[in-house]
Amino acid sequence: MHIVLVLVLDTSTPAVTAAVADVTPTGHAVVAELRAVDGRAHGELMAPEIDEVLRKAGASVRDLRAIVAGTGPGPFTGLRVGLVTAASMGQALGIPAHGVCSLDAIGGVPGQVTLVATDARRREVYWALYDQAGARVEGPHVDLPEAAVERAAGATVAVGDGAMKYADRLGLEVRDEPRYPRVDAFVRLAAERVRAGAPSEPLTPLYLRRPDAVAAGGHKPVLR
Protein backbone atom coordinates (compact mmCIF):
# COMPACT_ATOMS: atom_id res chain seq x y z
CA MET A 1 0.00 0.00 0.00
CA HIS A 2 1.34 3.39 -1.02
CA ILE A 3 1.73 5.66 2.03
CA VAL A 4 2.31 9.40 1.80
CA LEU A 5 3.92 11.07 4.82
CA VAL A 6 2.44 14.51 5.48
CA LEU A 7 3.50 17.35 7.78
CA VAL A 8 0.62 19.34 9.32
CA LEU A 9 1.15 22.88 10.67
CA ASP A 10 -1.26 25.36 12.23
CA THR A 11 -0.64 28.65 14.04
CA SER A 12 -4.05 30.29 13.56
CA THR A 13 -4.91 30.25 17.29
CA PRO A 14 -2.85 30.32 20.51
CA ALA A 15 -2.37 26.58 19.96
CA VAL A 16 0.83 26.05 17.98
CA THR A 17 0.42 22.67 16.30
CA ALA A 18 2.76 20.41 14.35
CA ALA A 19 2.06 16.81 13.39
CA VAL A 20 3.01 14.01 11.05
CA ALA A 21 0.36 11.84 9.41
CA ASP A 22 0.14 8.96 6.95
CA VAL A 23 -2.22 9.25 4.00
CA THR A 24 -3.06 6.00 2.20
CA PRO A 25 -5.32 5.30 -0.78
CA THR A 26 -8.17 4.42 1.61
CA GLY A 27 -7.62 6.49 4.75
CA HIS A 28 -5.24 8.40 6.97
CA ALA A 29 -3.71 8.22 10.43
CA VAL A 30 -1.97 10.73 12.71
CA VAL A 31 1.46 9.34 13.58
CA ALA A 32 2.77 12.05 15.94
CA GLU A 33 1.37 15.34 17.18
CA LEU A 34 2.51 18.24 19.36
CA ARG A 35 0.49 21.24 20.56
CA ALA A 36 1.66 24.06 22.81
CA VAL A 37 -0.76 26.81 23.77
CA ASP A 38 1.04 30.16 23.86
CA GLY A 39 -0.37 33.01 21.83
CA ARG A 40 2.90 34.96 21.94
CA ALA A 41 5.43 32.28 21.02
CA HIS A 42 4.42 30.93 17.62
CA GLY A 43 7.80 31.73 16.10
CA GLU A 44 9.76 30.20 18.97
CA LEU A 45 7.70 27.00 19.15
CA MET A 46 7.19 26.08 15.50
CA ALA A 47 10.65 24.80 14.50
CA PRO A 48 11.27 22.75 17.69
CA GLU A 49 7.84 21.15 17.35
CA ILE A 50 8.56 20.13 13.76
CA ASP A 51 11.85 18.54 14.80
CA GLU A 52 10.18 16.69 17.68
CA VAL A 53 7.22 15.29 15.72
CA LEU A 54 9.56 14.06 13.01
CA ARG A 55 11.69 12.38 15.66
CA LYS A 56 8.60 10.78 17.22
CA ALA A 57 7.49 9.57 13.80
CA GLY A 58 10.93 8.14 13.07
CA ALA A 59 11.16 10.27 9.94
CA SER A 60 13.20 13.09 8.45
CA VAL A 61 12.14 16.04 6.35
CA ARG A 62 13.29 14.11 3.27
CA ASP A 63 10.58 11.53 3.94
CA LEU A 64 7.81 14.11 3.67
CA ARG A 65 5.72 14.13 0.51
CA ALA A 66 3.28 16.97 1.27
CA ILE A 67 2.54 19.72 3.79
CA VAL A 68 -0.89 20.76 5.04
CA ALA A 69 -1.23 24.17 6.69
CA GLY A 70 -4.04 25.99 8.46
CA THR A 71 -4.84 29.19 6.56
CA GLY A 72 -6.77 30.79 9.40
CA PRO A 73 -8.51 33.07 9.96
CA GLY A 74 -6.13 34.20 12.64
CA PRO A 75 -4.19 37.19 13.96
CA PHE A 76 -1.56 38.43 11.52
CA THR A 77 1.63 37.76 13.49
CA GLY A 78 0.82 34.24 14.60
CA LEU A 79 -0.88 33.00 11.45
CA ARG A 80 1.94 33.95 9.12
CA VAL A 81 4.44 31.85 11.11
CA GLY A 82 2.81 28.57 10.11
CA LEU A 83 2.10 29.63 6.54
CA VAL A 84 5.58 30.99 5.86
CA THR A 85 7.09 27.84 7.38
CA ALA A 86 4.89 25.58 5.26
CA ALA A 87 5.53 27.50 2.05
CA SER A 88 9.28 27.72 2.54
CA MET A 89 9.62 24.04 3.50
CA GLY A 90 7.52 22.99 0.54
CA GLN A 91 9.66 25.03 -1.83
CA ALA A 92 12.93 23.82 -0.31
CA LEU A 93 11.87 20.16 -0.37
CA GLY A 94 10.12 20.33 -3.72
CA ILE A 95 6.84 19.01 -2.32
CA PRO A 96 3.30 20.44 -2.51
CA ALA A 97 1.75 22.51 0.26
CA HIS A 98 -2.03 22.56 0.71
CA GLY A 99 -4.15 24.97 2.72
CA VAL A 100 -7.19 24.24 4.88
CA CYS A 101 -9.39 26.81 6.61
CA SER A 102 -8.59 26.42 10.30
CA LEU A 103 -12.22 26.87 11.37
CA ASP A 104 -13.11 23.87 9.17
CA ALA A 105 -10.57 21.85 11.16
CA ILE A 106 -12.51 22.63 14.33
CA GLY A 107 -15.78 21.84 12.57
CA GLY A 108 -19.37 21.51 13.65
CA VAL A 109 -21.01 19.30 16.26
CA PRO A 110 -22.68 16.35 14.46
CA GLY A 111 -26.40 16.81 14.21
CA GLN A 112 -26.33 20.46 15.33
CA VAL A 113 -26.10 23.80 13.57
CA THR A 114 -22.82 25.01 15.02
CA LEU A 115 -21.14 28.37 15.43
CA VAL A 116 -17.36 27.86 15.41
CA ALA A 117 -15.57 30.86 16.91
CA THR A 118 -11.92 31.54 17.66
CA ASP A 119 -10.44 34.51 19.50
CA ALA A 120 -9.69 37.41 17.15
CA ARG A 121 -8.57 39.74 19.95
CA ARG A 122 -9.97 43.31 20.12
CA ARG A 123 -12.98 41.64 21.84
CA GLU A 124 -13.95 40.05 18.52
CA VAL A 125 -14.17 36.51 17.15
CA TYR A 126 -13.39 34.83 13.88
CA TRP A 127 -16.38 32.66 13.09
CA ALA A 128 -18.14 30.39 10.63
CA LEU A 129 -21.44 28.50 10.67
CA TYR A 130 -21.77 24.76 10.00
CA ASP A 131 -24.92 22.82 9.22
CA GLN A 132 -26.02 19.56 10.86
CA ALA A 133 -23.89 17.55 8.41
CA GLY A 134 -20.79 19.59 9.22
CA ALA A 135 -20.67 21.63 6.00
CA ARG A 136 -19.71 25.29 6.27
CA VAL A 137 -22.66 27.45 5.21
CA GLU A 138 -21.48 30.91 6.30
CA GLY A 139 -18.17 32.60 6.86
CA PRO A 140 -15.43 32.97 7.75
CA HIS A 141 -16.02 36.43 9.17
CA VAL A 142 -14.73 38.60 12.00
CA ASP A 143 -17.25 40.31 14.29
CA LEU A 144 -18.11 41.17 17.85
CA PRO A 145 -19.52 38.05 19.55
CA GLU A 146 -23.05 39.50 19.64
CA ALA A 147 -22.94 40.29 15.92
CA ALA A 148 -21.58 36.83 15.12
CA VAL A 149 -24.40 35.01 16.88
CA GLU A 150 -26.97 37.33 15.29
CA ARG A 151 -25.60 36.59 11.82
CA ALA A 152 -25.24 32.86 12.53
CA ALA A 153 -28.93 32.18 12.09
CA GLY A 154 -30.11 28.85 13.47
CA ALA A 155 -27.01 28.05 15.53
CA THR A 156 -27.81 25.94 18.60
CA VAL A 157 -24.32 25.28 19.92
CA ALA A 158 -20.89 26.95 19.78
CA VAL A 159 -17.34 25.60 19.96
CA GLY A 160 -13.82 27.01 19.78
CA ASP A 161 -11.67 29.09 22.09
CA GLY A 162 -13.49 32.26 21.06
CA ALA A 163 -16.83 30.73 21.97
CA MET A 164 -15.46 29.73 25.36
CA LYS A 165 -13.98 33.17 26.01
CA TYR A 166 -17.20 35.00 25.15
CA ALA A 167 -19.74 32.40 26.22
CA ASP A 168 -21.68 34.95 28.26
CA ARG A 169 -22.12 37.15 25.18
CA LEU A 170 -23.24 34.44 22.75
CA GLY A 171 -26.36 33.11 24.45
CA LEU A 172 -25.72 29.61 23.09
CA GLU A 173 -24.72 26.29 24.59
CA VAL A 174 -20.90 26.31 24.50
CA ARG A 175 -18.96 23.05 24.47
CA ASP A 176 -15.40 22.63 25.73
CA GLU A 177 -14.26 20.56 22.78
CA PRO A 178 -13.11 20.92 20.13
CA ARG A 179 -11.42 24.08 21.32
CA TYR A 180 -8.64 24.32 18.73
CA PRO A 181 -8.19 23.05 15.15
CA ARG A 182 -7.75 19.27 15.02
CA VAL A 183 -4.91 17.55 13.19
CA ASP A 184 -7.11 14.65 12.08
CA ALA A 185 -9.52 17.13 10.46
CA PHE A 186 -6.73 18.96 8.64
CA VAL A 187 -5.54 15.68 7.15
CA ARG A 188 -9.06 14.52 6.24
CA LEU A 189 -9.86 17.80 4.49
CA ALA A 190 -6.66 17.72 2.44
CA ALA A 191 -6.45 13.95 1.87
CA GLU A 192 -7.93 13.87 -1.63
CA ARG A 193 -5.50 16.52 -2.84
CA VAL A 194 -2.61 14.60 -1.27
CA ARG A 195 -3.70 11.29 -2.81
CA ALA A 196 -4.08 12.90 -6.22
CA GLY A 197 -0.60 14.39 -6.02
CA ALA A 198 -2.10 17.82 -6.61
CA PRO A 199 0.40 20.61 -7.17
CA SER A 200 1.27 23.13 -4.50
CA GLU A 201 -1.28 25.92 -4.10
CA PRO A 202 -0.95 29.48 -2.81
CA LEU A 203 -1.26 29.47 0.97
CA THR A 204 -3.40 32.57 1.18
CA PRO A 205 -3.84 33.70 4.79
CA LEU A 206 -7.34 34.58 5.95
CA TYR A 207 -6.50 37.68 7.95
CA LEU A 208 -9.99 39.23 7.42
CA ARG A 209 -8.72 42.60 8.64
CA ARG A 210 -5.63 44.78 8.53
CA PRO A 211 -2.75 43.98 10.92
CA ASP A 212 -2.41 45.91 14.16
CA ALA A 213 1.12 47.01 13.28
CA VAL A 214 1.50 49.43 10.37
CA ALA A 215 4.53 51.00 8.79
CA ALA A 216 5.44 54.42 10.10
CA GLY A 217 4.69 57.38 7.86
CA GLY A 218 7.10 60.09 6.89
CA HIS A 219 9.12 61.83 9.59
CA LYS A 220 7.51 64.82 11.17
CA PRO A 221 9.59 67.99 10.98
CA VAL A 222 11.27 68.89 14.23
CA LEU A 223 12.04 72.49 13.35
CA ARG A 224 9.33 74.84 12.27
Q: Strand 97-100 and strand 66-70: pairing? A: parallel
d(CA 59, CA 87): 20
- pLDDT at site 88: 97
Which of the four CATH numbers 3.30.530.20, 3.60.130.10, 1.10.10.60, 3.30.420.40 does domain 108-174 have? Answer: 3.30.420.40
What is the chain's alpha carbon radius of gyration, rounded to the nearest angstrom?
18
Q: Over the stretch 93-149, which tens digit does the pLDDT of each residue have?
A: 999 999 999 999 999 999 999 999 999 999 999 999 999 999 999 999 999 999 999
> pTM (2 decimals)?
0.92
Q: Over the stretch 141-187, which tens digit does the pLDDT of each residue have?
A: 999 999 999 999 999 999 999 999 999 999 999 999 999 999 999 99
State which H helix or E strand residue 162 sits in. Answer: helix 161-165
**Extents of the domains making up the chain:** 4-102+180-195, 108-174
- Say whether domain 4-102+180-195 belongs to CATH 3.30.420.40: yes
Q: Could you give the maximum distance between any two Cα atoms of the chain, in Å?
A: 76
Same CATH topology for 4-102+180-195 and 108-174?
yes
Instruction: Report yes or no: 169 and 145 within 8 Å, Cβ to Cβ.
Output: yes
